[in-house]
């Protein structure tokens, strides 16, 4: 296996596409299906699996999770159906530096984003409209190949976005109604990496945009775990030692 090979799992709630014709017409194979296809086309060393909320084990059995290097997350209407113990496992895997996490669009309110980043994920929103995505940090690996700006037609997300200050702010969105939004944010949590990216409303076509695709491909490479060469200890070793001496 090549040193650059990565196991990527694209998790999608996958309800809108099954329930709403207008969404299915845009994403007949699901949002996750389209993401898988452009990731594989762009990067032959990615091995991409699909996972959905209504799959057995919500698509993320221990075997799948423990062999995932980068997890992508799209959810909207059923955040509350994701089991808390699964969320805890995801957070732990990110914090221990074993897996990167990429959260897309309405995933800002997912349990996974809120738990891993530490936020309620709240923001304001409005009608679908023209958006200009500005490249705020061209030297960042996630911005490689992205021009100073590009255009989308997207659901309005606007500030204030009640998240912790990002460690790196890579993109900013301007909307035709005059609102702005921090649209591409990087967080370091424990030994792991998290990228949140705003585009991706289920009734818009943003996942077909070549720059959106490039950003997501770049983000997968950026979020991949570092080879740190040792196991990170979970818990305090002194407590464990003392307890074992005593009992």
Q: Taking the CB of residue 58, how many other CB atoms lie within 10 A of it? A: 17
Site string for Zn ion, 160-189 (x = CB under 5 A): ------------------------------
Among 201, 214, 215, 216, binds Zn ion (CB under 5 A): 201
CB contact set of 65 (below 8 Å; sequence gap of 6+)? 9, 71, 89, 90, 93, 99
Q: How near is the Cβ of 241 to Zn ion at its closest, in Å?
A: 49
**Interatomic CA distance for residues 203 and 188, integer angstroms:** 31
Residue range at the interface with Zn ion (CB under 5 A); choices 12-20, 149-157, 181-189, 238-246: 149-157
Among 13, 154, 155, 168, binds Zn ion (CB under 5 A): 155
Q: How near is the Cβ of 93 to Zn ion at its closest, in Å?
A: 27
- Decide the pairing of beta strands 149-158 and 124-135: antiparallel
Q: Closer CB to Zn ion, residue 31 or residue 220?
A: 31
Task: At 96, list the tokens.
Answer: 């221990």
Q: How near is the Cβ of 158 to Zn ion at its closest, in Å?
A: 13
Q: Closer CB to Zn ion, residue 13 or residue 69?
A: 13
Q: How near is the Cβ of 16 to Zn ion at its closest, in Å?
A: 9
> Looking up tokens 């914090």, which residue turns up?
95
Task: At 124, list the tokens.
Answer: 């304001």
**Interatomic CA distance for residues 179 and 173, integer angstroms:** 8
Residue 154 interacts with Zn ion (CB under 5 A): yes or no:
no
Q: How near is the Cβ of 30 to Zn ion at its closest, in Å?
A: 15
Q: How near is the Cβ of 105 to Zn ion at its closest, in Å?
A: 6
Cβ-in-10-Å burial (0-12, 13-18, 19+) of 71 comes to buried
Closest chain position to Zn ion (CB): 201
State which of positions 54-113 bind Zn ion (CB under 5 A): 106
Q: Closer CB to Zn ion, residue 98 or residue 201?
A: 201
Helix axes 30-42, 210-223, angle to 10 degrees: 80
Cβ contact 151:125 at 8 Å: no
Site residues for Zn ion per CB under 5 A:
106, 155, 201
């Amino acid at each position: 296996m090549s040193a650059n090979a990565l196991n990527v799992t694209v998790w999608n709630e996958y309800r809108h596409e099954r329930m709403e014709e207008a969404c299915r017409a845009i994403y007949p194979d699901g949002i996750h299906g389209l993401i898988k296809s452009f990731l594989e086309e762009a990067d032959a060393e990615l091995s991409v699996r699909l996972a959905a909320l209504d799959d057995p084990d919500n698509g993320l059995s221990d075997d799948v999770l423990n062999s995932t290097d980068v997890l992508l997350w799209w959810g909207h209407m059923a955040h509350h159906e994701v089991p808390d113990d699964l969320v805890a496992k995801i957070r732990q895997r990110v914090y221990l530096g074993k897996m990167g996490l990429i959260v897309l669009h309405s995933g800002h309110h997912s349990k996974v984003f809120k738990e891993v980043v530490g936020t309620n994920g709240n923001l304001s929103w409005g009608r679908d409209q023209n958006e200009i995505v500005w490249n705020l940090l061209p030297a960042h690996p996630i911005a490689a190949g992205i021009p100073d700006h590009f255009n989308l037609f997207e659901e309005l997300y606007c500030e204030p976005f009640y998240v912790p200050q990002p460690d790196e702010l890579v993109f900013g969105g301007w909307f035709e109604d005059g609102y702005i939004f921090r649209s591409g944010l990087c967080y370091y949590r424990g030994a792991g990496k998290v990228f949140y990216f705003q585009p991706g409303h289920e009734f818009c076509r943003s996942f077909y945009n070549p720059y959106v695709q490039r950003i997501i491909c770049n983000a997968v490479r950026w979020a991949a775990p570092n080879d740190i060469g040792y196991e990170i200890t979970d818990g305090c070793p002194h407590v464990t030692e003392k307890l074992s001496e005593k009992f």
